[in-house]
Amino acid sequence: MGEKLTMKNSVKYKFLRVGMALCFVVFTQAITANTLESARGAEAVARQLLTNTTGQFNLYNQSHALLIGNMNYDFWPRLPKIKQELEGVSELLAEQGFQVHSVWDLNADQLRTTLRKFLHDHGAGQENSNNRLLIFYSGHGDTRKGLLGDEGYIIPTDSPQKKLDDIGFLDKALSMNDIVNWSTNVSTRHILFLFDSCFSGSILESYRSANKLPPHIHESIKNPVRQFITAGGANERVPSSSRFTPAFIRALKEQAADYVQDGFVTGTELALYLAQEVPKYTSPSNHPLEGKIGNGANREGDFVFSLRQADVPISSNTVNPIVNNIEIERLKIEQEKLRQDKVEQQEELKTERKEKSRVANLITKYEPKMIFVKGGDYRRSKSKYVSYEDKFVSDVYISQTEVTKGTQTFFSNLYALASADKCLSNCNIAESFSYSSAQTFISRLNEITGKKYRLPTEKEWEFACTARGNTKKFCGGNNLDSVGIYSGNREQQAPHNVALKKPNGLGLYDMTGNMSEIVSNCYKAPSFHNHPNECPDGLGMSKGGNLYNPEGREELGPFGRGNYNDQYSSLQGLRLVLDAE
């Protein structure tokens, strides 16, 4: 048994059944401690009877099954395969002696009314105390965090999704707590709830074991229990087409879950079989979980399915209870091992989530901060420069500063995402790039963030520098000392930290001086390039000037042009843009 089956007193599951989703199935059994009744002759047709060489035994008086299939939702994805799945369950349960009632596409009022009426009609009162009830729900489910933790819900067809309308969700969705409370108000011996949906549950742990009935079956029936079986653990993805239902049918129809070969399948045996079978048909594997809630007598019983027809005698060679108990103890040991394995898996998942959260925080810290620039008509005020035929600039986002050493180190270092923060000093200094190293950095940045950063065009750069065409002598004003770092005010002969001077009208820093900035145009033509080698004389264009330029140099103004080849330059920086969608 390589698959994992776990038992816990308080486990929470969070799921949503649509496409590949996180899901599970919960079986709940509410049992009262009644002794076996004697056979009543004329009522035998309505009962499931077992016979052996010494007499008749009545497992249940009446068996009723309610199958609920919600397929056509107003606000959730449709689940068209449910009807076919439940038809197979209906056929199997009819063979097991159940009177099957199937209902489809219930809204909130219908869902509550149908469930409560079924429980009342077939489970309330002393006359129904020896009945067996089974309720199978298939449809959407969800989980919601409440005051006492996560709470599971099954979803009627008219319920909104909680992320879009939380109040409407609470008004329509049916809480698992309500269903459990309803089940405690009826007198019937065994109730089995099957929820083939995706929602949160809790309550797990584990176990089971007059005339010639096998002793362990006798004890299973007469003693009460509250038992849960789930189709998968928390955070396990399952396909929208149920894999549980076919395994459930095989367990009974093919007698595959009768491990001790006594002609009966208990809830514990069913859980063990599902734990082995369901992972074979899911990728990644789902691992059904089993357990019991409560304490004392409420944990001693077990739901029982008979695999024999009413008129087929049970062999007098009943399974030796001692041998059966040995088998049960072996299975319990295996269950405990699987439970421990599941705990280890959950710890690994917590570690993985923690690491993902850490990396996400670092990405947020180092990703360039972008400023929105509303597009519009743009005409240069300097006639000596080439004019663009297209005078319109589209909406873009442009980085508030030049790319810093911290940002370049984090996104370019192959180990940065798997280790601690790499930038320990000078993190805010403007970083130097060649054209090729800039393109390598942009590719890495886009790979990690999933965005499409690129170089600005000359027209986009100038439009942002002039704060959408509000021309000044420099980017941000007419006083060079207040807006830029140049040869007259530099404090060192290397790039300075970003954002030491005043921003321009859009909040953009250092568009004048400090580092010249690469744009995607050629130096001697208004054309664009994929590499400066494609340009006349092999020269690409840069904008804004640098800290070596004196005040009179034209490159420091909005319309000045610098040039570069693809050689590394310690005074060549990078500002990025994103297209506005």
- In angstroms, the Cα distances linking 138 to 28, 67, 76, 86, 89 are 15, 8, 14, 8, 11
Contact criterion met (CB below 8 Å) for 431 and 405:
yes
Do 20-40+53-357 and 367-579 have matching folds?
no
CATH 3.90.1580.10 fits 367-579, yes or no: yes
Averaged pLDDT of the chain: 74
**Beta bridge pairs of residue 518:** 542
The pLDDT of residue 243: 72
For domain 20-40+53-357, the CATH class is alpha beta
The pLDDT of residue 218: 54
Contact criterion met (CB below 8 Å) for 80 and 91:
no
Tokens at residue 100, please?
């099957």
**Site of tokens 């580092």:** 515
338: number of CA atoms within 13 Å, CB side?
25
The answer to whether the Cα torsion of 342, 348, 349, 351 is positive or negative is positive
pLDDT-wise least confident of 173-187, 285-299, 305-319, 358-372: 305-319
Average the pLDDT over 37-54 and give the result: 32
Residues in Cβ contact with 502 at an 8 Å cutoff, skipping those fewer than 6 apart: 476, 477, 482, 483
The pLDDT of residue 295: 47
Closest CA to 20 of 298, 338, 282: 282
Cis peptide before 80 (omega within 30 of 0): no
CA distance 294 to 56: 33
Q: Domain map of the chain by residue range? A: 20-40+53-357, 367-579
pLDDT for residue 335 is more than 60 = yes
Q: How confident is the model at residue 215 (pLDDT cuts 50, 70, 90)?
A: low
**pTM, two decimal places:** 0.46
Name the helix (H) or strand (E) containing 108: helix 108-123
Comparing 505 with 361, which gets the higher pLDDT? 505
Cα 567 off chain centre by: 47
Tokens at residue 484, please?
């830029």
Residues in Cβ contact with 489 at an 8 Å cutoff, skipping those fewer than 6 apart: 481
The pLDDT of residue 319: 40
Closest CA to 137 of 191, 84, 91, 193: 193
